[in-house]
Structure 1
C-alpha cells in the first residue's frame, strides 16, 4: 500500500505544480513537456523525456535486461545444480542466519544474496541485478503471503539499496572526462558513506524486526568486512588515477570471468549437463525481464512527471531559501539535486551530476558532493519497482520507509564527510 500511495502522490504533486506554473507563471509549454518531453537543442539545452518517451525507454531497458538476466540466471542454474550455491550458503550461513532468522539453514537464497552483495561491492551492476532478482525469487519461495513482502525480503532489499560499493568507477570516469584535477578524490568519501548507509539500513530493519545485532558472529563478520575494506583502501590509495581504473577493471571484469570458469569447471566435475542447465535458467531470466515491464513503466512515468513539471526545482529552491534565511553555508545545496533525484532515477542523477560539474566546475565543493551522492547509494524506487515487481509483491510494508531513512542518513553523512575532506 505504501508504494501505491507514493506513486499516486508523485503524479498528483507533479500535475498540481505544473498547473500552477502554467496558469500563474505563464509557462504554457510545461504540459507538452510532461507529455512529449523537452527537446535537447540550443533553446532548451536540458533534455527531459515526457511520459510517452519514458514508456519506450522503460520497455527498451527491460529488453536490454533480457540478455543479461538470461546469461547470469543461466549460470546460476548451473551453479545450483552443481551444488555451488549450497556451498556458498553454508559459508555465509552463520552470519546470515542472524540477519535472516526466517531462512532455513543452507537455503540457496543465502548464496544468491552473497553473490548480489559481492557484485555490488565491486561495482558489477550488470551481475548484481540478476543475482538480486534470483535472491528475491528464492526468498519468495519461503514467503507465506505471496503478495506481501517478508521480513527477509525487506532486509535483503534495504541492504542492497544501501549500495555498499568499493570503487565508484563510473563517477571517477565522469570526473576525469570533466577534467577534474584529481578524479579519484571522492573515492574514500564514497566508501565511507556507503558503509555508513549499509550499517544504517541494517540497524533500521533490525530494530523493526527485533533482531539482536550484538552477537559475536555478527560483530565478527562486520569487523572482518571492515578489515578487508580498509586493506583495499590502503592499497588503492597508493595508486594514481590510472592505476585505480586499471585495478578496478582487472578486479571487476576478472571476477566475472573467474565466476564463469569456476561454475563451468564445478559443473563438469559434478557431471552436470552444463548447457541444458544453462538453458533452463536462461528461460527464467527471459520471463523475469518481461514480468517487470508494467512495474518499471509505472514507476518511471511517475518520476518523469516529477522531473518535467519542475517539482525538483521547487524543492531545491525552497531548501536553499531556508538555509540562506538561517545564515548557514549553502554550498551543499548546489549538490542536493543529485541526492534528491538519485533514489528516483540513476540516469537522471548522473545527468544532474554532470550538469553540476559543468555549472560550478569539476573541482568545486558542489561537484565533489554531487559525485559522492551519485556513487554512494542505489536508485531506491527503481529497486522497489523491479525487485518487488519480479515476484509480484504488492504490499511492501515498511521497506520504502526504511530505505529512504537509510538514504537520509547517507545524505547527511555525505555532506559532513565532504566538508571534512574538501572544506
Structure 2
C-alpha cells in the first residue's frame, strides 16, 4: 500500500513540475517525459532479461549445494550462535532448524528458498507463542535479524551491475568489487539490529559463541584493513574485486566438488535450480518497469533534482561531503520496497555510471539494507499477529544504522 502511494506521487509530482516548466516556456518538456517513459520501459525489460542467465546460473549452483548438504552443514555450524539469542525456543524444536536454514539461505543468496523457510519458522514459533495475537520475543528477534541479515553474496546486485556495464560498453568491468563493502555494511546492520533487540529483551551478548562470532568477523575485517588501507582507492578497488571474484568462484567449485563426492547428479541439480532462476528473473519485469517508469517521469521533469538538491544543501550546510546524496534515496526506499529501491539503484547507475562512486555506493546500499516494512507485514501476517510490539522500531534502527554504515564503507573503499 505504501509503495502504491509513492508510485502515484512520482507521477503526480512529476506532472505538476512539468506544468510549471511548461508555463515557464519549456514547450518540449512533455515530449521529453513521454520519450523517457518509453526508453525507461525498454531499459527495465532489458535489465530483467539480462538477469535471466546470471540468476539461472547462480540458483543452479545453489541447488547443487542444497542437494549436496552443504547448506545444512553451514546451518549446523552457526546453530550454537542462534541458540544463545533465542533462549525461549526449546532445544531441538523445529523452529530452530527452520530459522537457521532461513538465515543460511539469505547469506548465500537463496532468496526464493529463504522466504518459505522463514514463513515455516514463523508458524513453528507461533506454536510455542503463549499470546497468539502478539509477537513473541523470539519472533521479534528472528524478524529483525532477518531484515538486517548478513549478505555473503549480493547476487542480484552483481548481476544488474554486470548487465548495465555491458549496456554502457565498459570493458574489463568487475561487478564483484562491491562484495567486501557490502559484507561489511550488512554486518553493521546485523549488529545494530541484534544489539537493539538484545537490549530490550535483556539478552547477554558476552557468551563464548557470541564473542567468537563478533571477534572472528572483526579480526577478519582488521586483517583486510591492514592489507588494503595503504593502497590508492583505484588499486584497492581492483584487489576487492579480485577477492570477491575468488570467493564466489571458490564457493561454486566447492559446491560442485562436494556434490560430486557425495555422488548426487550434479547436472540435474543444476538444471532444477536454473529453472527457478529463470522464473525469478522473469517475475521482476513488471515491478522493475513500473518503478523505473515512475522514476523517469519524476526525474525527467526535474523533480528528482529538486529533492536531491534539497538533501545536498542540508548535508552541505553542516559541513559534510555531498557526493553520496544521489545514492541516498536507494536506502530510504529500501525500507519500503525492494523493487522500488532496485529501480532507484538502476537509475543512479544509468545516470552517473555503473563504475562511478555514486553507482557503487547505490549498489552497496541496495545490498546492505532490507525491506523492513514488507518483511514484517508478510511474516507477521502469515501467522495473524496483530500486536508487533517493538519489532518495527528495532528493524528501522538496524536499517538506518546499516544505511549510514554503507555510506561510510563506500567512502572507505572507493574514495
Normalising by the residue count of structure 2, what TM-score does the alignment of the two structures yield?
0.65
Query: Which residue, 220, 223, 227 being the options, matches 1:231?
Result: 223
Partner of 2:130: none
Q: State how far apart, in whole Å, the 2-side matches of 1:73 and 1:21 are.
A: 47
Residue pair 2:181, 2:406 contacting (<8 A) in 1 also: yes
Partner of 2:348: 352
> Which digits, 9 at most, give the CA deviation of each residue in 1:198-240, with x for residues without a partner?
32233345567x3725241323311122123322443455775
1:2-401 equivalences in 2 (<5 Å): 4=1, 6-26=2-22, 37=36, 49-50=40-41, 54=44, 56=45, 60=49, 63-64=52-53, 67-68=56-57, 71-72=60-61, 74-80=63-69, 84-99=70-85, 104=94, 107=97, 109-111=99-101, 113-114=103-104, 116-117=106-107, 119=108, 128=109, 131-144=110-123, 151=140, 154-160=143-149, 163=151, 193-204=185-196, 206=198, 210=201, 212-216=203-207, 217-236=209-228, 241=236, 243-266=239-262, 268=263, 274=265, 278=269, 282=273, 285=276, 289=280, 293=283, 297-298=286-287, 301-302=290-291, 304-310=293-299, 311-323=303-315, 326=317, 328-329=318-319, 331-332=321-322, 334-341=323-330, 343=334, 344-346=340-342, 348-349=344-345, 352=348, 355-356=351-352, 368=357, 371-378=360-367
| Alignment CA distance shift 1:18-1:109 (3 Å) | same
Residue correspondences, number: 370
Residue pair 2:330, 2:366 contacting (<8 A) in 1 also: no
Q: State how far apart, in whole Å, the 2-side matches of 1:399 and 1:303 are.
A: 31
Q: State how far apart, in whole Å, the 1-side matches of 2:353 and 2:48 are.
A: 30
More moved, 187-196 vs 218-227: 187-196
More moved, 20-29 vs 90-99: 20-29
Residue pair 1:72, 1:282 contacting (<8 A) in 2 also: yes
> Which digits, 9 at most, give the CA deviation of each residue in 1:320-358, with x for residues without a partner?
34456x4x33632x3211121353444653652575579
Q: State how far apart, in whole Å, the 2-side matches of 1:287 and 1:357 are.
A: 27
Residue pair 2:40, 2:292 contacting (<8 A) in 1 also: no
Q: State how far apart, in whole Å, the 2-side matches of 1:98 and 1:158 are.
A: 19
Q: State how far apart, in whole Å, the 2-side matches of 1:190 and 1:286 are.
A: 22
Q: State how far apart, in whole Å, the 1-side matches of 2:20 and 2:345 are.
A: 29
| Alignment CA distance shift 1:136-1:99 (3 Å) | farther
Please report how far the alpha carbon of residue 158 of structure 1 lies from its aligned counterpart in structure 2 after TM superposition.
1.5
Residue pair 1:335, 1:356 contacting (<8 A) in 2 also: no
Structure 2 unpaired stretches of 5+: 127-132, 335-339
> Which digits, 9 at most, give the CA deviation of each residue in 1:16-75, with x for residues without a partner?
211211222216766666666357xxxxxxxx614x764x45863675576246514531
Q: State how far apart, in whole Å, the 2-side matches of 1:415 and 1:346 are.
A: 17
| Alignment CA distance shift 1:100-1:58 (3 Å) | farther
What is the RMSD of the two structures over their aligned residues, measured on CA atoms? 5.3
| Alignment CA distance shift 1:274-1:401 (3 Å) | farther
Say which SS state the counterpart of residue 245 (structure 2) adopts.
helix
| Alignment CA distance shift 1:132-1:66 (3 Å) | closer
Residue pair 1:71, 1:282 contacting (<8 A) in 2 also: yes
Q: State how far apart, in whole Å, the 1-side matches of 2:384 and 2:293 are.
A: 23
